[in-house]
Amino acid sequence: MEEQVDIQQIKPPTYAKGPVGWLRENLFSPWYNAILTCVALLFLYFVFKGLLTWAFTEAEWNVIPANLQLFAIGPYPRDQVYRIWICLYILSVLLGLSAGVWRGIVQRWTIVVGSILLVFLVIPFEIVQREDSHLVSIEFRFNLIWLIFESRRWLLGDVALLIGAFFLGQRITRLRPWILGGWVLSFPIIMFVLHGFGENAVQTSMWGGLLLTLILAVFGIVVSFPLGVFLALCRQSKLPAIKWVSTFYIETVRGVPLITILFMGSVLIPIFIPYFTIDQVLRMMVAITLFSAAYMAENVRGGLQAIPRGQHEAAQAVGLNYVQSMMFIVLPQALRSVIPAIVGQFIALFKDTSLVYIIGLIDLFGVAKSIITNPVWLGRHVEVYIFIALIYFSFCYAMSKASQEIEADLGVGKH
Could you report how far apart the first and last alpha carbons of the chain are, in Å? Answer: 44
Q: Footprint of other proteins on residues 256-275 (CB under 8 A)?
A: 256-260, 263-264, 267-268, 271-274
Q: 369-401: string of b/e by CB count within 10 Å (b at 16+)?
A: bbbbeeeebeebeebbebbbeeebeebbeebee
Amino acid found at 263: F
Task: Kindly state whether residue 89 participates in binding other proteins, applying the rule CB under 8 A.
Answer: no
Q: Which is nearer to other proteins, 41 or 144 (CB)?
A: 41
Which of 357, 359, 361, 403 is in the footprint of other proteins by CB under 8 A? 357
Phi/psi region, residue 376 (left: phi>0; alpha: psi -120 to 50; beta: rest), is alpha
* Contacting range for other proteins; rule: CB under 8 A; set: 26-34, 173-181, 192-200, 283-291: 26-34
- Shortest distance in whole angstroms from residue 130 CB to other proteins: 27
Q: Which is nearer to other proteins, 258 or 329 (CB)?
A: 258
Indicate whether 320 belongs to the interface with other proteins (CB under 8 A). Answer: no
**Closer CB to other proteins, residue 40 or residue 112?**
40
- Interface residue with other proteins among 347, 361, 362, 371 (CB under 8 A) is 347
Burial of 214 by CB count in 10 Å (0-12 exposed, 13-18 middle, 19+ buried)? middle
Stretch that binds other proteins, among 95-103, 176-184, 318-326, 395-403 (CB under 8 A): 395-403
118, 155, 189, 242: which one contacts other proteins (CB under 8 A)? Answer: 242
Q: Are 362 and 209 in contact (CB under 8 A)?
A: yes
Residue 323's φ and ψ, nearest 5 degrees, are -60, -45
We find the least distance from the C-beta atom of residue 317 to other proteins, in angstroms, to be 18
Cβ-contact 237, 304 below 8 angstroms: no
What is d(CA 224, CA 258) in angstroms, rounded to the nearest whole number? Answer: 14
Looking at 166, 225, 365, 377, which residue binds other proteins (CB under 8 A)? 365
Give the residue with the Cβ less far from other proteins, 178 or 244: 244
Given candidates 247, 385, 405, 412, which one binds other proteins under the rule CB under 8 A? Answer: 385
Residues ≥6 apart with Cβ < 8 Å to 243: 234, 235, 236, 237
Contact between 190 and 339 under an 8 Å Cβ cutoff? The reply is no
Per CB under 8 A, does 241 bind other proteins? yes
**Beta carbons of 225 and 339 less than 8 angstroms apart:** no
Question: By CB under 8 A, is residue 42 in contact with other proteins?
Answer: no
**Where are any strands of DSSP class E within 108-165?**
125-129, 136-140
CB contact at 8 A, 327 and 194:
no
CA distance 145 to 387: 30
Q: Which stretch binds other proteins (CB under 8 A): 95-103, 152-160, 329-337, 389-397?
A: 389-397
**Shortest separation between residue 41's beta carbon and other proteins, angstroms:** 7
Measured from the CB of residue 386, what is the shortest distance to other proteins in angstroms? 8
Q: Does 360 bind other proteins (CB under 8 A)?
A: no
Nearer CB in complex with other proteins: 103/369: 369
- 33, 80, 186, 374: residue in contact with other proteins (rule CB under 8 A): 33
In the complex with other proteins, the residue whose CB is nearer, 16 or 41, is: 41
Q: Which helix (H) or strand (E) holds 191?
A: helix 176-195
Q: Which of 111, 122, 184, 389 binds other proteins (CB under 8 A)?
A: 389
Strand runs labelled E in 143-192: none
Dump the DSSP string for 288-349. Answer: HHHHHHHHHHHHHHHHHHTS-HHHHHHHHHTT--HHHIIIIIIHHHHHHHTHHHHHHHHHHH
Q: Binding residues for other proteins, how many (CB under 8 A)?
A: 51
Q: What is d(CA 401, CA 407) in angstroms, rounded to the nearest whole number?
A: 10
Does position 41 interact with other proteins (CB under 8 A)? The reply is yes
Least distance from other proteins to the Cβ atom of residue 307, Å:
19
Q: Footprint of other proteins on this chain (CB under 8 A)?
A: 26-27, 29-30, 33, 36-37, 40-41, 43-44, 239-242, 245, 251-252, 254-260, 263-264, 267-268, 271-274, 347, 351-352, 354-355, 357-358, 365, 381-382, 385, 388-389, 392-393, 396-397, 400
